[in-house]
Amino acid sequence: MIEALLRRHLPGVEAWAYGSRIHGRSHGGSDLDLALRAPGLKRIATDRLKALSQAFRESNIPFLVEARDWTCLPENFHREIEKDHVVLVSKQHAEKPRP
């Protein structure tokens, strides 16, 4: 469902998951952190990010999903995320719907 919402609201955008949920250190209240990387690492329009966040809140995903534009994250976050992340939606699959 997360991938489908990403593709619907932000086609062409790559999504990287990072943080406690991918490290196995999460608990029931942990969110899923996503770094969103638009083609050419351009900034993602605020209204599109808000629409995606609203879609996550209205979905039946059983935890909070925090999606952030890569270009708005501090450089030191970039380095940490690049070291350890999981690609949820890759560049080559960002626009292709899943069967």
Q: What is the pLDDT of residue 89?
A: 93
Q: Which residues are catalytic?
A: 31, 33
Mean pLDDT, contiguous 10-residue spans, the chain (99 residues): 95 94 72 95 97 97 95 96 94 55
Alpha helical stretches, state H, the chain: 2-9, 20-23, 46-58, 75-83
CATH class of domain segment(s) 2-93: alpha beta
pLDDT of res. 22: 81
Q: What is the separation of C-alpha 16 from the centre of its chain, rounded to a whole number of angstroms?
A: 6
Instruction: Name the pTM for this structure.
Output: 0.86
Question: In the sheet where 65-69 sits, what is the strand order?
Answer: 65-69, 32-37, 14-18, 86-89
Domain boundaries, the chain: 2-93
**Predicted pLDDT at 99:** 45
